Structure 1
Amino acid sequence: MEGETTEDTFFRLFGEAAAQLRQGFARSIGMSVQRVQILVRLHRNGETSHSELRQTLGIDGASITRLVKELERDGLVQRRVDPADNRYTLASLTPAGTRFAIELRERHQDYQERLLDGVDKQDQDRVLQALQRLRDNLNRGDADT
């Protein structure tokens, strides 16, 4: 783009690629990114409060409730009131939800392998090193402010 620096181009393309990667898998299986995120999080962490899902996934509370209710309606998630504090609702995968989450993981692995087709290990390692350097610089910058 005209007037764009090399740094501008790098971060624009990096941001666009990250957004496409986040959405691409979900789109390929016909689900929203948020629904996939909830299923994956519940599979990894087990029973989780709506509040923790909201904080971890960066989704507002009303959206979490709506999404979890949709997944419950689909038979993938079950909800219950937290016995330790009835102000909170806990969500967990049903047996069907667990099977579906395992299938998601397998399909995601296949998806990643397809994306990396033709990208050799050395190139992957260089990208990982660059990403780690970016994170280190970001963290160092955050500590300086």
Structure 2
Amino acid sequence: MPEVSDTAPDFTLPRDGGGDVTLSALRGAPVVLFFYPKDNTPGCTKESIGFSESAQAFADAGAQVLGISKDSVASHDKFVAKQNLSIPLLSDEHTTTCEDYGVWGEKKMYGKTFMGITRATFLIDADGKIAKIWPKVKVDGHVDEVLAAVKAL
């Protein structure tokens, strides 16, 4: 996992609704990257709705919010439509970006071991450096905590 003050690993990923997003093209303003395990699961839905509901507050603070999971663009499109989400969701089907950010690895649930994404959030400053990391995110209160950190930049 990269550390605070490291340059954020660059990527270009497809997004819901079509097109690609390149992280380095967003320099000049803060970016919030939240990695989540799966579309339409309870925690991921709650987190995505939370960031969507606060999208204007993040924009007012000058920051862009991007969600990233291994789900396909088609899955993201359905998730966005079903939950009325307003933040871009990026598809990392090959897990390259997840691996670069150290969020792809072995997980355990109900006695089974599998590979998956650990919920984590990265705040990247206007210069492309990692300003703050939230590893192993608990959803409740997380969006407000991230917004406060953006405002403190």
User: Is the strand fraction higher in 1 or 2?
Assistant: 2
Higher relative contact order (CA 8 A, sep 6+): 2
Question: Which structure would you say has the larger Rg?
Answer: 1
Higher helix share: 1
